[in-house]
């Protein structure tokens, strides 16, 4: 929901940095992998209780996640690059809630499992929609130029990052916040199914 607004402010400086990196010969896929590794390092820090340092790494990871697209557009976007970006995004999305479960399984296990389940369902609805949209030759630039068809929703990347930040700043709130965001993610998935039913009639 907030991605479109955030992109207006974040994308121009990212594009300038991305163009500079591309001119230095940096590959977009390297940035994608680096973003994921930093995100996994953040998850590792969460398991050890270093929440503020983890939050800093999450911010760096997500900046790099936006930067890889800028590097790709300044050089040569590839289908594999788009595939790698989406795949490693979901690695990151699953790793952070799992880290909070490992950090305090007694308090966080059930809520963390529910949140990861909602990410799975939401991600499936998103990717399945993109596959059918591609099959039908549909395109959209609602979230900028992307390698696959992006549908919008109540729970998008910006909302997820905010929730992860709340987890790190107030780890005792993990379970109630996770339950609320689980409902939001499932609502987003259901709304996408409704949208698909209208867009892809029998």
Note the pLDDT of residue 148.
Answer: 54
Q: What is the pLDDT of residue 131?
A: 83
Q: Token match 């992006």: residue? A: 150
Entry pTM: 0.87
* pLDDT at residue 74, as a whole number: 92
Q: Which two tokens stand for residue 111?
A: 């809520």
Per-residue model confidence as pLDDT tens digits over 135-148:
877 766 554 555 55
Residues of the chain short of pLDDT 50, as ranges, are 143
Which pLDDT value is given to residue 150? 58
d(CA 198, CA 132): 13
Q: Which residues contact 180 (CB under 8 A, 6 or more apart)?
A: none
- What phi-psi label fits residue 137: left (phi over 0), alpha (psi between -120 and 50 degrees) or beta? left
Copy the structure tokens of residue 86: 């989406």
Contact partners, residue 85, CB within 8 Å, separation at least 6: 32, 65, 68, 69, 147
Q: Measure the CA–CA gap between 120 and 142, rounded to whole angstroms.
A: 23
Domains and CATH numbers, the chain: 3-199 (1.20.120.1760)
């Amino acid at each position: 929901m907030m991605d479109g607004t955030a992109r207006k402010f974040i994308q121009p400086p990212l594009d300038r940095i991305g163009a500079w990196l591309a001119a230095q010969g940096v590959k977009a896929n390297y940035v994608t992998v680096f973003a994921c590794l930093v995100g996994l390092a953040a998850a590792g820090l969460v398991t050890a209780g270093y929440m503020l340092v983890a939050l800093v790494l999450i911010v760096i990871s997500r900046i790099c996640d936006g930067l890889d697209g800028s590097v790709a557009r300044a050089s040569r976007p590839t289908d594999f690059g788009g595939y790698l970006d989406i795949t490693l995004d979901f690695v990151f999305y699953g790793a952070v809630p799992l880290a909070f479960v490992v950090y305090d399984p007694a308090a966080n296990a059930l809520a963390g499992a529910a949140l990861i389940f909602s990410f799975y369902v939401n991600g499936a609805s998103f990717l399945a929609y993109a596959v059918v949209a591609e099959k039908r030759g549909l395109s959209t630039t609602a979230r900028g130029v992307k390698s696959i068809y992006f549908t919008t929703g109540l729970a998008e990347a910006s909302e997820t990052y905010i929730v992860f930040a709340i987890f790190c700043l107030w780890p005792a709130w993990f379970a109630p916040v996770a339950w609320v965001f689980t409902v939001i993610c499932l609502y987003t998935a259901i709304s996408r199914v409704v949208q698909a039913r209208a867009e892809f009639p029998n």
